[in-house]
Structure 1
Amino acid sequence: MKKFILIALVALVGFTAEAQQAKISFTNDTVDYGNIAKGSDGVRVFEFTNTGDAPLIISDVKSSCGCTVPKKPDGPIAPGASSSIQVKYDTNRVGPIRKTVTVYSNASEPIVALKIKGEVMSNDTSVLEKTK
């Protein structure tokens, strides 16, 4: 009888733990820089909301190269609360931007890939000119 009660208690705790889960919902999973001038502000933001019913903890945010520096929010994000992940691209690198920022969290989908795209134009090319 004691074993049955112990098994029932463990099963109940297991189901209760799964019932509450954080869920991360991004406003957009892609940031388009468009055509930007060399040396311009490379900071952009991915906004998100915890649409789950447990605190969301972002454990890490990594970029696909050293030219992109992401900054994760500090501390847990409460259910229903919003926050953001800041990304800074080195706009002194002329050419196309195609990078991935990977978010690791305790959400129901623990790994999310975000994209940044655009093109950094050289100083001798106008941002208004159409590229070839």
Structure 2
Amino acid sequence: MKNFVSLLFGLGLLLTHLGAQAQGVMSFEKDGHDFGNVPEGTMATYEFKFKNTGNQPVVIANVQASCGCTTPDWTKTPVLPGKTGIVKAMYSSAGRPGVFNKTVTVTSNAATPSTVLSIKGTVLGKDELKSKLTPAQLAQSPHAKLSTTAHDFGKVEVGQQPVVRLTVQNTGKQDLVMGMLSSTCNCVGYKAAPQPIKPGQSVPVELIYAPRQAGQSMEVVTMSSNDLTGDTKVTLRANVVRDLNAASMVKESGTAVPFK
């Protein structure tokens, strides 16, 4: 009986040991990345790649950035043993010249439940960056050309979010990376984050306008990028009303209606 109890105890320890070993392991290729010099206005993006070297699937529960200027993204599906996944860190350099050093913390069900990854670099203003490049390097830089520099939405109701579609062409010789949008109203944004544009390529880009106040509106939107010649601008106009139906009724009531 004593031997039987000892056998059960030993079996329990073995199962516990095996259970402890049955875990996923996130093995990152590297846990830090230095961007070097980054042109102001671009999104500095890096993908940290990892392999699951354990024996159970790895599921990333969350990735938390150390500041609002860094946006994380990651593989949302379980990463099976032997397979790879990514954790992406995107740093917005618009309006942030100087040195940056940021982290993203990865939380998962892996053997090491929390992993800290870091990104760093130096954001250079375009004038400063120009001074560091030779004429030959400047000639190789990207260049953004818009299909139009103005758009009129016409009559728009407060609360609506109309979309304008522009075409951005890269007439330069390196990838064009579009950055942040800026306007006095802070009411214009990208419908979807634009991807890098190859030399000679033309890509549609959609802007969402979200007016907050009624009246005639004119917004000059600055579209930052790594184009060293300067940022592109587009002017958006709209007649913003509180209620489109009410506005048309008022207009109709003010017109002369012949006797019937």
Could you state the TM-score of these two structures normalised by the residue count of structure 2? 0.45
Deviation of residue 19 (structure 1)? Answer: 2.3
Q: Which has the larger radius of gyration?
A: 2
- Choose from 31, 36, 42 the match for 2:33: 31
- CA deviation profile, 1:51-80 (whole Å, cap 9, x unmatched): 111111111111111000111211210001
SS at match of 2:43: coil
* Map of 2:115 onto structure 1: 112
- CA apart distance, 1:40: 2.2
Pair 26,10 (structure 1): closer, same or farther in 2 beyond 3 Å: same
CA displacement at 1:9 relative to structure 2: 6.6
Q: How does 1:1-132 map to 2 (within 5 A)?
A: 4=5, 11-92=13-94, 93-126=96-129, 129=132
Cα distance change, pair 128–33 in 1 and its aligned pair in 2 (3 A): farther
Moved more, 7-16 or 47-56: 7-16
Work out whether residues 104 and 110 of structure 1, in 8 Å CA contact, stay in contact via their aligned partners in 2. yes
Unaligned runs of 5+ in 2: 134-260
1:6: how far off? 7.6
Q: Report the Cα offset of residue 16 of structure 1.
A: 2.9
SS of residue paired to 1:21? coil
Q: 1:8 to 1:128 in 2, by over 3 A?
A: farther
Aligned 8 A contact 1:121 1:127 in 2: no
Q: Which has the higher contact order (CA 8 A, sep 6+)?
A: 1
2:18 counterpart SS class: helix
Identity %, equivalent residues:
37
Amino acid at match of 1:38: E
CA deviation profile, 1:73-131 (whole Å, cap 9, x unmatched) = 1121000101111111011121111011111111111111111000110122116639x
For the residue of structure 2 that corresponds to 1:126, the secondary structure is helix
Measure, in 2, the Cα distance between the counterparts of 1:128 and 1:46: 32
Amino acid at match of 1:117: K
Q: 1:104 to 1:6 in 2, by over 3 A?
A: same
Normalized against structure 1, the TM-score is what? 0.85
How big is the alpha-carbon RMSD for the aligned residues of Structure 1 and Structure 2? 2.2
Classify 1:88/1:127 alpha carbon distance in 2 versus 1 (closer, same or farther; 3 Å): farther
